Amino acid sequence: MKTTIFTLIITLIALTGFAQKAEYYQAMGESLGQYANCKTPDDFQALGNRFGMIANNEKEEWLPLYYHAHCYIIMSFMEPSDAKKKDSYLDVAEKSLKQLETMVPTEAEVFALQAMLYTARLVVNPMERGQQYSMLTAQSLGRASALDPTNPRAKLLKIQNDMGSARFFGKDPKEYCSQANDLLAGWDSFVPKSQLHPVWGKDQAEELVKSCK
Amino acid sequence: MRIYLLIVFFLFIKAISAQTTISGTVKAQKDGTLPGANIYLKGTYDGTSSDVNGRFSFKTQKIGTHTLVVEFLGYEPFAKEINLTGAEITLLIGLKETFSKLDAVTITAGTFEAGDKKRANTLTSLDMITTAGAAGDVFGALQTLPGTTTNGESGRLFVKGGDSEESQTYIDGALVHTPYISTAPNTATRGRFNPFMFKGTIFSTGGYSAEYGQALSSVLLLNTNDMPTQDQLDISVLSVGPEIAGTKLWKNGAVTATLTYNNLQPYMNLVPQNFEWKKAPESTAAAISIRQKTGKTGMLKVYASFDDGKFKLAQDDLDQNKKIDFALGNRNTFVNTSYRTALSKNWSAATSASFTADADDVTFDGNQFDKKLSGFHLKQTITNELNEKVTLRGGGEWFSRSVEQTFQTVTDTFVNQYDNNTFAAFAEAEMYASKRFVTRIGGRVEHSSYLKNTNFAPRVTAAWKMNETSQLSMAWGWFHQNPNDDYLIYTNKLDYERADHYTLSYQSAKNERTLRAEVYLKDYRNLVKQNAGEFFLAESYNNNGSGYAAGLDLFWRDKKSIKNGDYWISYSYLDTKRNYRQYPELAIPTFASKHNLAVVYKHWFGKLRSLASVNYIYSSPRIYNNPNSEKFNGERTLAYQSLDISWSFLFRQNIIFYGAVTNVPGFKQEFGRRFSDQPDQNGMFKSAAIIPGSDRFYVIAILITLTKKGTENQLDKIQ
């Protein structure tokens, strides 16, 4: 009898745990599906909020925090002119990224996203921040590709940066076109670790290839 | 039992079927609805975001007591227990703004702050470096800000009707006894420090905190760079000489060593000079800078430099009617250290110390004049963040200064010297009543061992943010300073000089446009007067001098209106008179201009990878005294005008070319006249115009940065 009760309790706990995990997968799945529908900063804020809420519930999962930061970085890029707003969005993203760095210190995706954050900081005021943040961006990308040389998002950001700086120095950005072509051709061969892991960036790689033509 | 089971069953059914709709509106407590707020039940996946009107609505299957959380960036999170029963819940939620000093009101009366990258600035360190007329001189760049008057024959800072010695410079909290290089009389000086050393600058033209003493008019606070990010070698070749700097990093520290050699001889061979140089200015400087992180929050900075410079110049002696040689040799040793660390969550401490040994050896007409200064400053500050709205700061300081002047003629030697130790204590409290209102109240006590006297200085400032873009600040305080060395070597029967500041300042900043208007009054008292007695007698000096300065400063900065362009305009109106030193009466001092204008424009040419800068500076005629005239300080100089340009070209990522020309149109510059000491046989004093060393100044430079990766550059230096 005692064993039965014990088993029952264990099963119940496991089931509740499972149910909660199921809720997590469902919430993440739904939220990731929302990305395609986001058009305005408000949309991204609502989505970011959603990821923030999930992150609050799932302290062990790093993906909700990752997407939370991602949404806020996109908001900063979308904000047309208010530098203070841009920075305040990036402050939120930076906070999540700091947490991520200690949670999953060997995750290439995190450092690729960190590079994106630094680029966003730079964009707020290129004249003043150019030096500092281009260096930080390069450092983060270096760490990302050291952790996973196949990560397509790290490669994408690297090519974008290289092309941007080539354009700036009056050199031909097309010298990076073969890299862009390779990136796009091999994009689908990168297999994310789960359905919830980041997959974004293919459309941007397509744009790079298009800009080469 | 059966009934009991039934009830349980029904409750269970109810539990799965009950659906509660929670809706409402999220508002800011002060004004307006908040779209995009995050609303959810804590510990669940049920929630939503508010729409453009701040409204929200979501459904939940949960029952019983849950916590509803509402979060929004910049506001305090809101939490409320609600009981979910299936009945619809409607809420009106008011969020309170979070208090953050970053977007709260700031005290701007009298202060120009630069460098803190996340804050809206009036001027950044970069702006200083790329201002054409400054040619890389910190003090030159500051002279494009309102409240300053350009004195071409001096090059020093003259702030709001104050003499140059009324301004003090601090590096990382420690006093810089000799901020300027030594020059011949009536020739412009420059700062000793490379502007690239500093990440931030605060230039306060009045009403500064009780932390700063021994300055009647202004304090310039320079904060040095933190940890460098990589090993690198910087090579700069300027038209006046080369500089090489190497940086090496280790785990929690770094060292930078710099060697500079300047020699104006080749330059002066090419560009015509107004002076007769027997030996062109030549200097060698070595500096070392060490950074070390200690523990989690500690940072130790050490900077040490040694500078050796000399020149020889032939000047007309108006009394002897012949040319005499003026030769100067200067040796300057400077050490500056600072250490700051957090003691606990709310307590932090900063220690700064500086040491200066400076010696000027001047030879003219067979006479020898030596000036030795050794100075020491130690400062300890403790800060306590009592809570997010109240900060307390206090500390103590020790200033030590020894001055010795030796005058040696063929027959005689005169030595005059004095030693002084000043001990000071200060305390202040900064209190935010809200995001919109802040006051800072402080006091300062100083005691000088040489003057055997104690002073007390109260300081009060307050700022009020009227709306999102505008704010009003006021500052009031007493400011003391020891009299000039030239008097103290003869007497200690003097009191502190004193200035009372009253400042009212309005600032509006929106969309990268900043407007500032400031009115001020300075009331000078206890200024040192020298009577007709012999200059070396103590009885010849007293503290009966006084004066005033009143003015209006305007500043307009616009980074927005012109694409890739950025400009600022400073205008200062100054009304000042004083009766001090040997003045027989209240008169306009010789360093003051009534109207001062500076227009600075910078343009980034993306295709050319070039930053061009042009500025125009105007100061209305100043006053000078003609001993041949009845009227004291009755003559007027020419107005000062200069139009300067500079061009920086980013050739490669690690190579930059830079060029600058001052006074391009060749405006005639004359800074008054100097007169003979004795009248000639007709009772007239002979005179000669005071003119700059050359009509224009040209700078050409190439800056190269070498790193392992080879991609870094000195862009931050000039762009």
Residues in chain B closer than 8 A to A54 (CB atoms): 45
State the best of B73, B122, B468, B703 to mutate against chain A, taking most chain A CBs within 10 Å: B73
Would you state the pLDDT for residue A13?
A: 59
Would you state the pLDDT for residue B595?
A: 97
Query: What are the domain boundaries of chain B?
Result: 2-95, 111-718
pLDDT at B296 over 90: no
Amino acid at B418: Y
Q: Is B666 on the interface with A (CB under 8 A)?
A: no
Q: Is B719 on the interface with A (CB under 8 A)?
A: yes
Nearest Cα residue to B483 out of B397, B368, B401: B401
Distance CA B344, CA B240 (A): 49
List the pLDDT tens digit at each of the 213 positions of chain A.
Answer: 566 666 666 665 555 555 668 888 988 998 999 888 888 888 899 999 999 999 988 889 999 999 999 999 999 999 887 888 898 899 999 999 999 999 999 999 999 999 999 999 988 877 677 777 888 898 899 999 999 999 999 999 999 988 888 887 777 888 899 999 999 999 999 989 888 999 999 999 999 999 888
Would you state the pLDDT for residue B73?
A: 83
The answer to whether the Cβ–Cβ distance between A165 and B653 falls below 8 Å is: yes
Task: Give residue for tokens 């070498």.
Answer: B706
Amino acid at B111: T
Distance CA B662, CA B623 (A): 24
The answer to whether the Cβ–Cβ distance between B45 and A135 falls below 8 Å is: no
| Neighbour count for residue B576 (Cβ, 10 Å) | 22
B402-414 in b/e burial notation, b at 16+ Cβ within 10 A?
ebbbeeeeeeeee
- Residue B140 burial (C-beta neighbours within 10 Å; 0-12, 13-18, 19+): buried
Would you state the pLDDT for residue A9?
A: 64
Residues in chain B closer than 8 A to A129 (CB atoms): 117
Nearest Cα residue to B498 out of B535, B455, B554, B469: B455
pLDDT at B91 over 70: yes
Q: What pLDDT band is residue B165 in, cutting at 50, 70 and 90? A: very high
Q: What pLDDT band is residue B709 in, cutting at 50, 70 and 90? A: low
Choose among B47, B117, B606: nearest Cβ to A53: B47
Q: Averaged over B593-603, what is the pLDDT?
A: 95
Distance CA B325, CA B574 (A): 38
pLDDT at B715 over 60: no
**Tokens read off for B410:** 């063929």
Q: Averaged over B670-682, what is the pLDDT?
A: 92
Distance CA B551, CA B528 (A): 23
The answer to whether the Cβ–Cβ distance between A57 and B43 falls below 8 Å is: yes
The answer to whether the Cβ–Cβ distance between B512 and A23 falls below 8 Å is: no
B571 to chain A, minimum CA–CA distance in Å? 26
Residues in chain A closer than 8 A to B129 (CB atoms): none
Would you state the pLDDT for residue B195?
A: 82
Nearest Cα residue to B459 out of B215, B220, B149: B215
Non-local (6+) Cβ contacts of A65 within 8 A are A51, A55, A96, A99, A100, A103
Residue B297 or B664, more confident:
B664
Residue B220 φ then ψ, to 5°? -115, 115
pLDDT at B120 over 70: no
User: How far apart, in Å, do the first and last CA atoms of chain A sit?
Assistant: 75
Would you state the pLDDT for residue A101?
A: 92
- Rounded CA Rg of chain A: 20
| pLDDT tens-digit map of B389-421 | 899 999 999 999 999 999 999 899 999 999 999
Would you state the pLDDT for residue B44?
A: 86
Amino acid at A49: N
User: What chain A residue is nearest to B560 in terms of C-alpha separation?
Assistant: A81
Distance CA B684, CA B673 (A): 14
State the best of A40, A47, A49, A88 to mutate against chain B, taking most chain B CBs within 10 Å: A49
Distance CA B494, CA B580 (A): 14
pLDDT at B9 over 80: no
Would you state the pLDDT for residue A20?
A: 65
- Residue B631 burial (C-beta neighbours within 10 Å; 0-12, 13-18, 19+): exposed
| pLDDT tens-digit map of B28-70 | 877 778 888 889 998 888 888 888 888 999 998 888 899 999 9
Least confident of B38-42, B173-177, B330-334, B446-450: B38-42
Distance CA A164, CA B374 (A): 53
Could you say which architecture CATH assigns to the domain B111-718? Beta Barrel (2.40)
Non-local (6+) Cβ contacts of B276 within 8 A are B313, B314, B315, B323
Choose among A45, A53, A168: nearest Cβ to B40: A53
> In angstroms, how far apart are the furthest CA atoms of chain A?
81
Q: What pLDDT band is residue B116 in, cutting at 50, 70 and 90? A: very low
B309-322 in b/e burial notation, b at 16+ Cβ within 10 A?
bbbbbebebbeeee
Segments in chain A forming alpha helices (H): 2-34, 41-57, 63-78, 83-103, 108-124, 126-147, 152-168, 177-186, 202-212
DSSP state of B625: -
User: pLDDT above 70 covers what percent of chain B?
Assistant: 94
B430 to chain A, minimum CA–CA distance in Å? 25
Residues in chain A closer than 8 A to B47 (CB atoms): 49-50, 53
CA dihedral B103, B108, B111, B116 (to 10 degrees): 0
The answer to whether the Cβ–Cβ distance between A45 and B124 falls below 8 Å is: no
pLDDT at B557 over 80: yes
State the best of B26, B49, B247, B705 to mutate against chain A, taking most chain A CBs within 10 Å: B49
Would you state the pLDDT for residue A15?
A: 57
Residues in chain B closer than 8 A to A89 (CB atoms): 73
The answer to whether the Cβ–Cβ distance between B712 and A135 falls below 8 Å is: yes
Would you state the pLDDT for residue B713?
A: 47
Q: Averaged over B377-387, what is the pLDDT?
A: 95
User: What chain A residue is nearest to B41 in terms of C-alpha separation?
Assistant: A53
Cα separations in angstroms, B337 against A194, B169, B259, B422: 53, 15, 20, 20
A189 to chain B, minimum CA–CA distance in Å? 31
State the best of B98, B106, B117, B234 to mutate against chain A, taking most chain A CBs within 10 Å: B117
Angle, CA B482 vertex, CA B477 and CA B488 arms, to 5°: 165
| Neighbour count for residue A40 (Cβ, 10 Å) | 11
Q: Is B185 on the interface with A (CB under 8 A)?
A: no
Distance CA B183, CA B202 (A): 26
Could you say which architecture CATH assigns to the domain B2-95? Sandwich (2.60)
pLDDT at B474 over 60: yes
Angle, CA B550 vertex, CA B544 and CA B552 arms, to 5°: 165
Strand partners, B501: B477, B522
ipTM for the whole complex: 0.77
Would you state the pLDDT for residue B581?
A: 94
Distance CA B209, CA A15 (A): 64
Residue A36 or B118, more confident:
A36
Question: Judging by DSSP bridges, how do beta strands B47-49 and B167-171 pair with one another?
Answer: unpaired
Q: Is B715 on the interface with A (CB under 8 A)?
A: yes
Would you state the pLDDT for residue A5?
A: 67
Strand partners, B168: B219
pLDDT at B118 over 50: no
Residue B61 or B619, more confident:
B619
The answer to whether the Cβ–Cβ distance between A49 and B52 falls below 8 Å is: no
Segments in B188-338 forming alpha helices (H): 265-270
Nearest Cα residue to B716 out of B116, B201, B262, B197: B197
Cα separations in angstroms, A139 against A132, A173, B709: 11, 21, 12
